[in-house]
Amino acid sequence: MNLNDIVKIQDLDLNNKNVVVRVDYNVPLKDGKVDNPKRIAATEKTIKYLLEKGCRVVLLSHLGRPKGKVAPEFSLAPVAPEVEKIMGAKVRFATDCIGPAADAAVAAAQKGEIVLLENLRFHPEEEANDKAFAQKLAGHGEIFVQDAFGAVHRAHASTSAITEFLPSAAGFLIQKEVEFLGGALEDPKRPFAAVIGGAKVSDKIIVLNSLLDKVNVLVVGGGMAYTFIKAMGRGVGTSLLEADKIEEAKAVMAKAAAKGVKLLLPEDHVCAKEFADGIPTITTDGPDIPEGYMGLDIGPKTIKLFEDELAKCKTIFWNGPVGVFEMASYSAGSFAIANTLAKLTKEGVITIIGGGDSLNVLKKAKIASSAVSHASTGGGASMEFVEGNDLPGLTALLKKK
């Protein structure tokens, strides 16, 4: 999928319309206030574009997992002041997303104002993709704009069914995601490398196989690497191991060899006897991990190996840390990947981070997300996009639909 496949916000006549916008304001709250407003700021371009067109903007979002019941701790009420501050427009908050409270707030909104409706997931019909519920949501506007990339892999009423009742288009945040992820997968500047980390092979086996059809270099790190190392007949000590995935790891290595993809695995490790920070560690000379020790980060040889290979590439996709970066003793590898991507971005390399823990690495390493070409706002959605899966919220925006 690429940008030419979907209907965009610029394609529609929006002047003075009531526009319903699905956003992802599933933000962290602390002491009754938004603790990190990045997801709100990510929608600024879309919302200000609509306000400049004289629209009344009605925002739909979820927050947390209230499981279809009203739960005050998951109310979007604390989000409204932050939206007002970022967008520079009056925000009316409605205590429900359908019914009299929502209808009254929408009816009272003036041109150039915003209405933030209460948490969609207070209603079980949202996650059930209920058409009657979606029709009520659609009743708040004349046009629907999808700008919640973090939710497009879900077939919910506010991402899928609602598009049956209103002309629908992609906002600028969605467009940026499709531009970078779609462009990297369909027509990347080469050499194209993917760095895939994380704990388990089972979580990433589909994306690994999908990427082998697209990349020139595949770098594997994190806990999942130990299953590959074991598959090579090497010792992994007490490291995280999915013994039932060894054959799948062998199949990935065989596919990489058959396709001429350079597959890089850790060549040394930072190890400890316990899964804990601030305790004695050793760094191995090679890929074998001694008995009684567990691998918790890549070692200096591996860092240099990965850095040198990435420096040869023109497009890099990264998803997943290569060590237990949350602990200072095992953060060097993941921080090195983050710093390498930031450095290469300045040199013109297209660098894409697939959300989730990789973004947390940037934050912990004190690197701005703007230091890379694109930091995806949807971890699960970005991985499903890379895997080639159908994303209902995007499929609903296809021009042919």
Domains and CATH numbers, the chain: 3-172 (3.40.50.1260), 188-387 (3.40.50.1260)
pLDDT at 238 over 90: yes
- Tell me the β-bridge partners of 194: 218, 317
**What average pLDDT does this structure show over 26-50?**
94
Distance CA 383, CA 362 (A): 18
- Across residues 306-316, what is the average pLDDT? 97
346-396: pLDDT as tens digits? 999 999 998 668 888 998 999 998 999 999 888 788 888 888 888 999 999
pLDDT at residue number 85? 97
Lateral strand order in the sheet of 168-170: 91-94, 114-117, 56-60, 18-22, 143-146, 168-170
- Can you tell me the mean pLDDT for 222-248? 96
- Tell me the C-alpha distance between 262 and 284, whole Å: 23
Mean pLDDT of 195-223: 93
pLDDT over threshold 60, residue 344: yes
pLDDT over threshold 80, residue 229: yes
Residue 372 dihedral angles phi and psi, to the nearest 5°: -110, 165
Check whether 401 has a pLDDT greater than 60: no
Residue 1's pLDDT is 77
Q: Does the structure show a pLDDT above 80 at 141?
A: yes
Q: Give me the active site residues, please.
A: 39, 200, 356, 380
The pLDDT value recorded for residue 15 is: 96
Average of per-residue pLDDT across 255-266: 97
In this predicted structure, what is the pLDDT of residue 389?
Answer: 83
Cβ–Cβ < 8 Å for 273, 294? yes
Residues 6+ apart with CB under 8 A from 372: 341, 342, 345, 351, 352, 353, 362
pLDDT greater than 80 at residue 400: no
Token pair for 230: 């074991």
Where does the pLDDT of residue 11 fall: very low under 50, low under 70, confident under 90, or very high at 90 and above? very high
Give me the count of residues in the chain.
401
The DSSP output letter for 369 is G
More confident site: 324 or 185: 324
> For position 36, what pLDDT does the model report?
87
Per-residue pLDDT at 3? 84
Q: Distance between CA atoms of 352 and 368, rounded to whole angstroms?
A: 13
Backbone angles phi, psi at 271, to 5 degrees: -125, 160
Dump pLDDT digits (tens) for 149-184. 999 999 999 999 999 999 999 999 999 999 988 888
Predicted pLDDT of residue 184:
82
Q: What is the pLDDT of residue 295?
A: 97
What's the whole-number average pLDDT of the chain? Answer: 95
Of the candidates 112, 105, 97, the residue with the CA atom closest to the CA atom of residue 62:
97
- Look at 85-89, 156-160, 205-209 and tell me which has the smallest mean pLDDT: 205-209
- Asked if 379 and 352 touch (Cβ cutoff 8 Å), the reply is no
- Mean local confidence (pLDDT), 78-104: 97
Mean pLDDT of 183-198: 91
Q: What is the mean pLDDT of residues 184-213?
A: 91
Q: Where are the alpha helices (DSSP H) in 72-182?
A: 79-87, 99-108, 124-127, 131-138, 172-177
Q: How far is CA 269 from CA 113, 158, 225, 281, 290, in A?
A: 55, 46, 11, 10, 10
Closest CA to 41 of 79, 85, 78, 86: 86
Cβ atoms within 10 Å of 187's Cβ, excluding its own: 11
